[in-house]
Chain A
Amino acid sequence: QKEVEQDPGPLSVPEGAIVSLNCTYSNSAFQYFMWYRQYSRKGPELLMYTYSSGNKEDGRFTAQVDKSSKYISLFIRDSQPSDSATYLCAMSALESGGYNKLIFGAGTRLAVHP
């Protein structure tokens, strides 16, 4: 079983929809939770990060972490065609290098159609 599970999709939604992306994990030592967006042929771009449990909002994006359920979510409101990309969750636990060893989910491919 992988440490981080993420449904690869693809997920296809109409423009303006609310998108929900999720990851589950098994390592209770994870404390730092991130969401990256990756466009085709580009490197991942950090969208948001959350430390420990709770919610964080940034514009149309909301990240939620439920450590008791080992479950994290990213919500995208009013989705736009420009949001079409692969969304990767990533997590880390404190190790010798700090929190720099990221464990990624498989990524969910999202397509927002006009």
Chain B
Amino acid sequence: KAGVTQTPRYLIKTRGQQVTLSCSPISGHRSVSWYQQTPGQGLQFLFEYFSETQRNKGNFPGRFSGRQFSNSRSEMNVSTLELGDSALYLCASSLSGQGIYEQYFGPGTRLTVT
């Protein structure tokens, strides 16, 4: 079974620009979560989508947004990029539901903002 895929793997953007990252979950998985990983703050939860609806959200500004499509693929958008947005952005998929399901991570998109 193919794992979680993320595109692009690397991205360089300039302050003030916007960026869209893509995540394709494992086949059959309906929940997609997004995380930001930085050396200073570690891994932090951004938001989670299930059936095209955002079910949970972390403490990030509104510049960070996402969506999920009917095939469970998800995109994350960051507008008005700041230098501090430089990070590894990870998505994770799980079967979801309300029970306990393992989350499987993709390789991440490394975003550098200059």
By a beta-carbon cutoff of 8 Å, the part of chain A in contact with chain B is: 32, 34, 36, 42-46, 49, 51, 88, 90, 94-107
Contacts and interface: CB of A to CB of B under 8 A. Distances in A.
A43 B107 contact: yes
Contacts of A94: 98
The dominant DSSP class at the B interface is strand
A99 B101 contact: yes
19 contacts: A36-B105, A42-B107, A46-B104, A46-B105, A96-B55, A97-B50, A97-B55, A98-B31, A98-B55, A98-B96, A98-B98, A99-B100, A100-B31, A100-B33, A100-B94, A101-B56, A102-B33, A102-B92, A104-B35
Given A88-B43, A105-B42, A106-B42, A98 B102 contact: no
Interface in B21-46: 31, 33, 35, 42-45
B103 interface: yes
